[in-house]
Structure 1
Amino acid sequence: MRPAGRPVVRLLGQVWLWPAVVMLAVGGYRLGTPDLWRDEMATWTVATRSLGDLLRLLQHIDASNGAYYLVMHVWTAVFGDSTVALRMPSVLAMAGAAAFVALTAERMFGNRVAAVGAGLLFTVPPEVSRYAQEARAYALVTCAIAAATWFLLRALEQPTWRRWAPYCVAMALAGAGHLISFSTVAGQAALVLLHLWRTRGSVDRRLLWRYPLAVLVAALPVLPVVLLGSRQSDRQLGWIEKPSAGGLLHFGEHLFGSHLVFYAFAVLALPVLLLPGRRVQAWQALLLAELPVVGVWVVSQGDTSYFIERYLLFTMPAWAVLAGGGVGAAYGFATGLAGRLRLRSGARVAAGALAVGMLAVPAAAALPKQPAVRYVGSHNGSEEPFRAAAAVIAAGYRAGDGMAAPLGDQSWAMVWPGVSYYLPSDVHPYPVFVAQSADDAEDLSPAVCDLPASCLGQGARIWLLVLGDTRDPLTAVPDDEAQALRARYGTPDQVTPVGGFTVALLDRDS
């Protein structure tokens, strides 16, 4: 009989397990502490709508996030819409990405030290923690690209359709989650070409047409997202500035969330790039990390820019694979040198200590930055204090109160859904200056009323929210709305700046 504990022992020996467990711990730590920010509010307000309302909205805005919203629609229906519930899929996805990083490094470098090291290194950068704790698609896309890389390596070794199929699925999921992730094809193409060069004596010529065909098959399900997203790009991406050459040069520092961590990764990669043995595989990982960034930078020199670090977070697994390969190469060099010098006693222990020390350097560099992505306002800074504004309203709320929040040109701030999310379940101010609810308007925020005086409602009191800290909130709203409020309510009785918003109470009976 097979010992009952043997499957457990085998599981514990898998190179992907411990990176995934560590990523779960790192991503789950203080998961519910940072307040949701406006992008996460978009996820909440869309995912919790009916399926019909969700699909109608995607025809007007955010089609590029449509696949993610559908996933979250199902998720919230099962697990609810608390802050932890909204973010948990991202934590799980980053853990999956860490597992695939380890598997990819093992396949590229044939070294368990490189594999485990790569998976653990992936958990280190502050930006990985940041987006493991965000209710957006970036973590899921990162996991899909990490999986696609591993599936691609398997298919290159044995290019059968059974091995190409999961690659196609992973790439389609990544593209549907975020179109920019398809830029990884530039790095994958370089990886394939280097593989053909490395195996030129026994190359399988089927790769010459099967890889392009697999990319085409993966792209077909993404085409509807491309068509819808292209019509919506001006509204969604117009705020991103065209990147400079300096922006490309220093992009890694922003991608990692710490220039010290980025430089530590770069130094760790040197052994595998310089020492003989796996240099071709190291260049495959480097090009996989760099070419998508360069490609997006070039495209962003046109009318629309896409060059922002979170859009390119999916390149982080390749950086971790490369750095892990460096750790494995240094370990192998140290053990080989000890063998040649006949220093067998304690040689592996010393080489292991070297590998652990190499892993500790970026971890130590990242440690001071980790709290910065976990405090209450870390996702939104001081500009979106939804919870603080909701607390002011809840403390003074009376049944029949109304609420007016920035809409129209200021709807990007997501104040209405953001404050509504944090209001207690028994606090229901009626909407002021709203012509249609967000659901009826098929948008992320309610539609603004064209005739403010007719949309005041009959309440004796209105809670007014405006952007910025001000002692005179009526000067921060459109003139026609301010005129309607002054005519019925006069000046505000209570003005409370909350660090990015101002909450004012207008009472016509006072």
Structure 2
Amino acid sequence: MTATITVPTGRPQERWGMLRARLAGRAIAPVVGVFATVVSLIGIGTPSYWGDEAASVLAAERPLPVMFGMIGHIDAVHGLYYLFLHLWTGAFGTAEAATRIPSAIGVGLAAAGVVVLARSLFTPAVGVTAGLLFAVIPQVTRMGAETRSYALGMAAVVWLTVWFVSLVRRRSTSRRSWALFAVASAASMYLFLYLAMLLIVHAAWMLLQRPGRAVVRAWAWSLAGALLLGAPIVVAGIAQRGQIAFLGRRDYATPESVFIGQWFQEPVFAAVAWALILLAPIGVLTMRRAVGERQGLAMVAVWALAPTVLLIIGNALVTPMYNLRYVTFCVPAVAIMMALGLRTLVGLLPARADRAVATAVGVVLVMAVAVPVLVTQRGPFAKDDGSDLRQTAEVVQAHASPGDAVVFDQSVKPSRQSRLAIDLYPTAFTGLDDVALVESYRERPELADLAAPLADLHDELAGHARVWAVEGSEAAPDVADLEALGYRVERVFPVHRSTVYELVRD
């Protein structure tokens, strides 16, 4: 019996057509989504928590009445996320990996949405390429391992845009569909207020499509409904704008932040990404692409660029409002433009070239450039330029004894307070006397504990022969104060950004 093996001999164009047919299948979007989630899960529990994540965890851990009291005057714009995290941590705990997993899942949902959206606006190949590139963009992998709402926000805006594009293309005037869309749009504002800027993107798509008065009227009513439902969080955000007044002292709005930091983090990846982004309009506008693709490019460009421009202008003329993380929701559009740029580059190859292979090689090369950034992001001190809260807690746990006192440096800014270590990793401090604690965050409608200054703790320290001072600054002010009370430094444990001092007295 003789077996016959048939070897495919199709030309590159035929293989490219077969690949496009496979990519058009519905299964590819979930596959890319799973891939993106897996990438974000790599080393997800390795970095220590940092100040912003501490705000999330501490908000989520407190009883609901206390949480609602807190968001009544601070952090209302994150209230929906805090409520979700309260339920999540109740089921899965507060370890770093546990609280960051929802963000990794959010990245996967966003990546799948990028595939679906780019496929509908352009081609199946662009959709898959965009989804794969999205998965490794540094801001995505960073937010995919962050206990904040930004990754879930990306998922929300992508799928809202998929829905909106579909409604407009179908010329839908269904009151039910547009009402549900209004509710979903408003809900996204409660997830993160700045997602309201997506309405500008959708307005651009409506303007480009010109779907007729009936559809425009239905959308206008939906828009009004979304703004009405979202009005309470907008009002709360304006009332609490003082909590981001610190942005005015940070000078975040710089060219380096805009062109490198906010999406790409490192210059090498930024150079590659911007080269592809700049190639996107060249390919769509000069290579005889369909009118629909030009409209898609216009909407994606507005999505990628307009929010940053508006925030920079507002930051300069109105009030501090720009932060690198606040435009994370634009990254899906950035990924689509990068995919279009890669398609343009591949299109310059000779006709005999296998463009499917060339595209795959391009994606792999971009991923290779992203690897060093991902490695850096997953280091133990990767957050906030060296947060070492967990490692500091481990040092205290390894050397302190039950009955010892512990004090924390209160001289640094709130997001770097060393006291966060005892709140985030309480088991490491079991048996120690937190002599400065006046009121726990669990009992007060504020982000953090209320602690007394060391100068007021003479009586509380009277019965302690050993004190552990956890210092977050080189000045170590608590050490000098304790020495004035008769303590002497016995041992010093440098951690990374923090230093732990053991002080004793006879």
Aligned alpha-carbon RMSD (Å): 2.9
- Matching residue of 1:38: 51
Superimposed CA distance per residue, residues 333-378 of structure 1 (whole angstroms, 9 cap, x where no aligned partner): 689x95xxxxxxxx6x812123223323422332332211111111
- Matching residue of 1:309: 324
SS at match of 1:403: strand
What's the CA shift for 1:76?
Answer: 0.8
**Larger deviation: 225-234 or 53-62?**
225-234
**Larger deviation: 140-149 or 359-368?**
359-368
Matched, 1:453 2:469: no
- Matching residue of 2:135: 123
What's the CA shift for 1:65?
Answer: 0.9
Q: Is the 8 A contact 1:403 1:432 kept in 2?
A: yes
Q: Is the 8 A contact 2:252 2:322 kept in 1?
A: no
Matched, 1:372 2:385: no
**Alpha carbons of structure 1 residues 211 and 55: separation in structure 2 relative to 1, 3 Å:** same
| Paired AA for residue 378 in structure 2 | R
List aligned pairs for 1:77-476, cutoff 5 A: 77-109=90-122, 111-158=123-170, 159=172, 160-196=174-210, 203-241=211-249, 247=255, 250-251=258-259, 254-257=262-265, 258-269=269-280, 270-276=282-288, 277=290, 278-327=293-342, 350-382=354-386, 384-407=387-410, 410-424=413-427, 427-449=430-452, 451-456=456-461, 458-469=463-474, 473-475=478-480
Structure 1 unaligned segments of length 5 or more: list them.
1-8, 197-202, 339-346, 476-481
**Alpha carbons of structure 1 residues 249 and 494: separation in structure 2 relative to 1, 3 Å:** closer
Q: Is the 8 A contact 1:131 1:138 kept in 2?
A: yes
**Alpha carbons of structure 1 residues 248 and 380: separation in structure 2 relative to 1, 3 Å:** closer
Q: Is the 8 A contact 1:104 1:150 kept in 2?
A: yes
| Paired AA for residue 191 in structure 2 | G
Q: Is the 8 A contact 2:304 2:331 kept in 1?
A: yes
What's the CA shift for 1:486?
Answer: 4.4
| Paired AA for residue 503 in structure 2 | L
Q: Is the 8 A contact 2:277 2:341 kept in 1?
A: no
**Alpha carbons of structure 1 residues 301 and 213: separation in structure 2 relative to 1, 3 Å:** farther
- Matching residue of 2:501: 504
Superimposed CA distance per residue, residues 437-468 of structure 1 (whole angstroms, 9 cap, x where no aligned partner): 22233222211326443554743332222222
What is the TM-score normalised by the length of structure 1?
Answer: 0.84
Tell me, in whole angstroms, the C-alpha distance in 2 between the residues paired with 1:474 and 1:353: 62
Q: Is the 8 A contact 2:103 2:149 kept in 1?
A: yes
What's the CA shift for 1:130?
Answer: 0.7
Tell me, in whole angstroms, the C-alpha distance in 1 between the residues paired with 2:246 and 2:227: 25
| Paired AA for residue 501 in structure 2 | A
Count of matched residue positions in the alignment of Structure 1 and Structure 2: 474
Q: Is the 8 A contact 2:244 2:320 kept in 1?
A: no
Superimposed CA distance per residue, residues 375-424 of structure 1 (whole angstroms, 9 cap, x where no aligned partner): 11111333x31122212211222212222113487433242233443353
Tell me, in whole angstroms, the C-alpha distance in 2 between the residues paired with 1:313 and 1:215: 23
What's the CA shift for 1:143?
Answer: 0.9
**Alpha carbons of structure 1 residues 457 and 52: separation in structure 2 relative to 1, 3 Å:** farther
Tell me, in whole angstroms, the C-alpha distance in 2 between the residues paired with 1:33 and 1:208: 49
**Alpha carbons of structure 1 residues 165 and 11: separation in structure 2 relative to 1, 3 Å:** farther
What's the CA shift for 1:31?
Answer: 1.2
* Equivalent residue for 2:81, pick from 68, 73, 77: 68
Tell me, in whole angstroms, the C-alpha distance in 2 between the residues paired with 1:165 and 1:252: 39
Tell me, in whole angstroms, the C-alpha distance in 1 between the residues paired with 2:285 and 2:253: 25
Q: Is the 8 A contact 2:183 2:229 kept in 1?
A: no
List aligned pairs for 1:481-496, cutoff 5 A: 482=481, 485-486=482-483, 488-496=485-493
| Paired AA for residue 355 in structure 1 | T
**Alpha carbons of structure 1 residues 275 and 240: separation in structure 2 relative to 1, 3 Å:** farther
